[in-house]
Amino acid sequence: MKNNLRRIALGSIAAVACLAASLSHATAADALEIQQPGRLRIAVYADFPPYSAKGKGVDIAIGRELAKRMGLTADVVEVTADEDMNDDLRNMVWKGHYLGTRPGDVMLHVPVDQRLAELNDKVRIFAPYHLESLAVARDPSRVPPVKGSAATALEVFTREKIGVETASLADDFLLGVLNGRLRDNVVHFKTVNDAVAALKAGSIAAVMASRAEIEGALGAPGHIDVGPVSMPELRIKGWSLGMAVKADSTLLAEALSQAMIDIQRDGTLARIFKEHGITHQTP
């Protein structure tokens, strides 16, 4: 009898505790600066594998997990990139696109950069979750490891062709380095996926792009080697990716920051990257 009463009492206490936690969580969610009650509108880039494309990708999975941890339903909107990051922050965070697309409550894949933040005082940039960097995918039978100074590391590309995505960081770097000596052997592609396909087919010997995009396009590497790009002539060694909300969305930023900390600590963030075949690098 005593044991039964004890079980009933403990069950009642647990039920009350759960109810209190649920009410507290709901109250906190109701206070967030979001456009629709109970729903988190998450803006990501369109056609940007492996991060976000047609409802799948690393950033989409992260956004949905963050919403879940905050007790919200995720509404993911994929937005086409504009001319530069300042335009993207306007379209995807604080104003919306002139064609009528509403901004998100939060945007993912935002460079956590002091200069960018200073230029965009209408947004708050925070919570870095991944360190992106340039990498080279190469056919090792044609291209040795890319290391040392540019004169040493890139000399092979005076003879062999290397693919880049048009108007990317890798494109700008390779066209300008060594006084333009590599220009004739830099092959331009619409996407990193296209460049990697050409590498697999043997029509080019290497690809330079962000590591995540290369790994996402490559899948099982087979005979292709993927390595970092590190040379004195390359000023940008890596860049942290985080989130952005409107500048006055203080409670939302705090809730998202805590949710991001939670998924980092319990291994969920690393698992998401691994499931997409991407090497997660901590900022």
Over residues 157-179, mean pLDDT = 97
| Cis amide bond preceding 140, omega within 30 | no
d(CA 200, CA 219): 11
Closest by CA position to 27, among listed 42, 38, 17, 35: 38
What's the pLDDT band for 19 if we cut at 50, 70, 90? Answer: very low
Give residue 220's pLDDT: 87
* Range 35-130+241-275: architecture per CATH: 3-Layer(aba) Sandwich (3.40)
Structure tokens given for 59: 């950033």
How does the average pLDDT of the chain come out, rounded?
A: 90
Residue 273: what residue type? Answer: F
Structure tokens given for 81: 């990139």
Give residue 29's pLDDT: 63
Q: Is the model's pLDDT at 13 over the cut of 50?
A: no
CA dihedral 210, 216, 222, 228 (to 10 degrees): 20
Give residue 100's pLDDT: 77
Over residues 177-192, mean pLDDT = 97
Structure tokens given for 104: 């998100």
CA distances 210 to 94, 110, 237, Å, are: 27, 15, 11
What's the pLDDT band for 247 if we cut at 50, 70, 90? Answer: very high
Q: Is the model's pLDDT at 95 over the cut of 50?
A: yes
Whose structure tokens read 């190469």? 138
Share of the chain above pLDDT 90, in %: 83
Is the backbone of residue 146 left (phi > 0), alpha (psi -120 to 50) or beta?
beta
What's the pLDDT band for 75 if we cut at 50, 70, 90? Answer: very high
Q: Is the model's pLDDT at 24 over the cut of 80?
A: no
Domain spanning 134-228: CATH superfamily: Periplasmic binding protein-like II (3.40.190.10)
What's the pLDDT band for 58 if we cut at 50, 70, 90? Answer: very high
In the chain, which segments carry CATH 3.40.190.10?
A: 35-130+241-275, 134-228
Whose structure tokens read 């010997």? 205
Q: Is the model's pLDDT at 160 over the cut of 90?
A: yes
